[in-house]
Amino acid sequence: MLMSDSMMLSLGDKVTKNAHKESGLLKTTLSFAALTAILQLSAFLYAQDISYDAITFTLALAAAINYIVFDSTKQGLALAALCAVGAPACELFLMENFHLWHYPVVGAAANNLTLMGSIDGGIPSWVPWCYFAYIPALSNLARYLNKTLRD
């Protein structure tokens, strides 16, 4: 994140400059609180047997708001999108090849994401939005630590 921030700063990107200026312990703490709330929301909705489509929509909206409030940089969006695709792909690979864990198969399992049509059940279709939501918090932590260690 810091490398892409540095590149965007050298190009004069105002949003990145503002993100660095605003970085601090409070913003970092609030961004981790928001991440925690999103993850708890996903668990709550799942436990209430809400449809996967409704959970996906709700978490996508929450993750988008989280990104806008706590990051808003182009590189943050790119990294969040990469994380939303790459992390579930890695999780699926590990689940399918090492069988270390699985998600319970429930009625909505038809909406699960799988690797090459696996029969292991896959992961719920809304999980990528949880991974997307991590990036603003981690970006704020990186910016805060960078600022703190430089001063």
92 or 138: whose pLDDT is higher? Answer: 138
Domain-by-domain residue ranges, the chain? 2-150
CB 73 within 8 A of CB 139: yes
Per-residue DSSP letters for 104-121? PP-GGGGG-B-STT-SS-
pLDDT at position 25 is 97
List pLDDT tens digits, range 3-58. 999 999 999 999 999 999 999 999 999 999 999 999 999 999 999 989 889 999 99
CB 27 within 8 A of CB 40: no
Per residue in 47-60, is it b (16+ CB within 10 Å) or e — as a string? eeeeebeebbebbb
Least confident segment among 109-113, 117-121, 140-144: 117-121
Per-residue DSSP letters for 32-78? HHHHHHHHHHHHHHHHTT--HHHHHHHHHHHHHHHHHHHT--HHHHH
pTM of the predicted model as reported, rounded to 2 decimal places = 0.90
Distance (Å, whole) CA 43 – CA 33: 15
pLDDT at position 107 is 58
pLDDT at position 45 is 94
Name the amino acid, one letter, at 121.
G
